[in-house]
Amino acid sequence: MKKWLLGIVALMVCVSLTACNSSGGEIGKNGNENKGASTTKDGKTVVTLSVLQKDPNGWLDQAAQTYEQAHPDIDIVIKEYLTTPDRAPGQALHIGGDINPAELETYRNTMNTELMSGKGPDLISVSNLNYGQYADKNLLADIGELMKNDQNFAIQDYYTNVLDAVKHEGKLVAMPIVFWIHTLTSGLGPSDLQVDEANWTWNDLLNKGKEMAEKDSTFGVMGAVSPSSLLSKMVLGEFNQYVDQTAKQAKFDSPSFIQLLNNVRDMYDNGLLSQDYDKLIEDRDLFRDETYYAPVMLYQALQTNRQILNLPSSGDKNGLVFSSNLMLAINEKSAVKQEAWDFMKYLISEEMQSHPALFMAFPINKTVLTSVLTNQLKNSSVQTQAMGGDQKSDPNTDRSVVDEGTIQKITQFVEKPGRFLDSDPRFMSIIEEESSAFFEGKKSAEEVAATIQNRTQLYLNE
């Protein structure tokens, strides 16, 4: 377990920052064949991309630079709302990001205003936005149609299960350039834990964990997760029970949600759930919330004896759970829609998807899986040995060689059908923010439920 963690941390450390600034030109007046398109002084067509924050390894900048070199008539202008923080060489990255909620709200409001006014960038990062709301107002282009009409695009080269999962009302309006996979693992063997993954709920998990932990007090149900974070995951898994987005009705003041708050708190108070990592490090956690940020992490997980399970849900949405920290949409009002699609297509091309600066993520282009995994294993192995880990193994062993059987097992796993973390991130923020007051003993369950109900209902009514 410690070697696995060391290898992943080493992989995070080893990726160098080789950011190259894209040559953003000065935006001028209309003057090319695209009506309404902006051009630079030297006549280049401008394609704008707005992101909350660029990747720290400079992958987007490098993609823009190499694309511009191949398309001298195009100028890719990337607008970053939060400056990517500098870090010293060798300093580890926080994979999940560390974004101030107020700054995120500013980005959301800016995108809302620009898109609703018929303006805005040609390409928009919607990873932290409710893209479904924009699609309902016909503000986002149908990427599926752009794919269909592009004779040079081969849909079979991509993870169509992930694309299907991200669709809104049957239309692909957002492209996950990369993705992560969220699962649950269990230290219980199949004989001790038999799960109907299509129908099991969080209550099933907690009840089974409590039953097993009471039989052997050395086990914990789950560790390394805060009460507020766990609560938001539970709500997300059974989202339709608490939010009816069609009717715009929240249901957080219900007795069932109040009971959920109390049950989660009681299990933390009794030590069955924990925020610390002790049980995880000792491999004595019955259930573990796992996010596979990259193929190498899934590869390592498949080498263990832990069962990999789908996250619990309410039964109406099951399978793997995907998310993305780089998901782009095309502005329906863009005057350079085809150019925007062409750049998006380049971002998901074999060239850019296999680029070493595309850090800690699954590529949406499945043709590069083997090369990406091989490179990640090579980097992880070299750095682990350099840091003093795995001293007993043969230094001449090439751990980057992955047999075909393992590749096939990983491919079969990644290609399973699933769902996307499709809840508006703002709902989850509200739940985590407000429930922390309850878990810290500052407010009652009823008070917190009422506050969450009021805030979510106000948001639904906007």
The answer to whether 392 and 187 are in contact (CB under 8 A) is no
Residue 157: per-residue pLDDT: 98
- Lowest-pLDDT range, 84-93, 230-239, 256-265, 322-331? 84-93
Render 178-220 in DSSP notation, one character per residue: EEEEEEEEESS-TTT----TTT--HHHHHHHHHHHHHH-TT-E
Higher-pLDDT residue of 111, 194:
111
**Residue 127 predicted with pLDDT over 60:** yes
CA nearest 116: which of 145, 146, 136?
A: 136
Task: Record the tokens describing residue 461, joined without a space.
Answer: 């009514």
Predicted confidence (pLDDT) per residue in 167-183, tens digit: 999 999 999 999 999 99
**Residue for token digits 């973390």?**
421
Model confidence, pTM: 0.85
Q: What is the mean pLDDT of residues 155-176?
A: 96
Task: Check: CB of residue 212 under 8 Å from CB of residue 192.
Answer: yes
Question: Residue 239 has what pLDDT?
Answer: 85
At 15, give phi and psi (nearest 5°): -75, 120
341 and 150 in contact (C-beta within 8 Å)? yes
- For the cut 70, the answer to whether the pLDDT of residue 264 exceeds it is yes
CA distance 331 to 337: 7
* 441 has a pLDDT exceeding 70: yes
Task: Decide if pLDDT at 423 tops 70.
Answer: no
Whether the pLDDT of residue 376 is over 90: the answer is no
The DSSP letter of residue 85 is P
- The CB density around residue 174, as the number of other CB atoms within 10 Å, is 26
Rounded-to-integer distance, Cα 177 and Cα 227, Å: 31
What pLDDT score does 36 carry? 66
Average pLDDT for 357-370: 92
Q: Do domains 19-177+324-356 and 180-322+422-460 have the same CATH topology?
A: yes
What is the H or E stretch that residue 76 is in?
strand 74-80
Write down the domain spans for the chain: 19-177+324-356, 180-322+422-460
Distances (CA, A) of 462 to 38, 369, 456, 458: 33, 42, 10, 6
**Counts of helices then strands in the chain (DSSP H, E):** 18, 14
- What is the rounded CA–CA span in Å between residue 227 and residue 437? 11
Is the pLDDT reported for residue 27 higher than 50? Answer: no
Under DSSP, the state recorded for 158 is: B
pLDDT digits (tens, 9 = 90+) for 37-57: 787 778 999 999 999 999 888
Instruction: Give the best-scoring range by mean pLDDT among 61-70, 126-135, 310-319, 392-401.
Output: 61-70
Beta strands in 187-326 (DSSP E): 220-222, 243-244, 249-250, 285-292, 307-309, 320-323
Query: Which strand (E) or helix (H) includes residue 330?
Result: strand 327-330
**Average pLDDT value over all residues in the chain:** 84
Asked if residues 223 and 279 have their Cβ atoms less than 8 Å apart, the reply is: yes
For domain 19-177+324-356, the CATH class is alpha beta
Write out pLDDT tens, residues 80-111.
988 655 544 443 344 445 567 778 888 989 99
Evaluate if residue 23 carries a pLDDT over 70: no
CATH of 180-322+422-460, one of 3.40.190.10, 3.40.50.720, 3.20.19.10, 1.10.3720.10: 3.40.190.10
**Strand boundaries in 108-193, DSSP class E:** 123-125, 175-176, 178-186
Sign of CA pseudo-dihedral 275, 281, 285, 287: positive
